[in-house]
Amino acid sequence: MTYYWNFQSVFDNWWALAVGLGGTLRLFIVCLILGMSLGLFVALGRRSRTKAVRWASTAFVEFFRNTPVLVQILWFYYALPILAPVEISPFIAAILGISLNSAAYSAEIYRGGIQSIEPGQWEAAKAIGMNGLQVLRRIVLPQAIRRIVPALTNRGIEIFKMSTLASVVAYVEMLQQGKLIASLNFNPLEVYTVVAALFMIILYPLVRVTYAVERHLSRSD
pLDDT at 129 (0 to 100): 83
pLDDT at 44 (0 to 100): 95
- Measure the CA–CA gap between 42 and 52, rounded to whole angstroms: 13
Reference 174, options 202, 204, 209; nearest CA is 202
- Evaluate whether 159 touches 109 at the Cβ level (below 8 Å): no
pLDDT tens readout for residues 89-130: 999 999 999 999 999 999 999 999 999 988 888 788 888 888
- Measure the CA–CA gap between 94 and 156, rounded to whole angstroms: 16
Which is it for the CA torsion 113, 205, 64, 39, positive or negative?
Answer: positive
pLDDT tens readout for residues 147-160: 898 899 999 999 99
Kindly tell me the burial class for residue 192, based on how many C-beta atoms sit within 10 Å of its own C-beta (0-12, 13-18, 19 or more): middle
Q: Which pTM value belongs to this model?
A: 0.92
Length of the chain: 221
Q: Which CATH architecture has domain 26-172?
A: Orthogonal Bundle (1.10)
Which residue ranges make up each domain of the chain?
A: 26-172
pLDDT at 220 (0 to 100): 67
Query: Which positions of the chain have pLDDT values less than 50?
Result: none
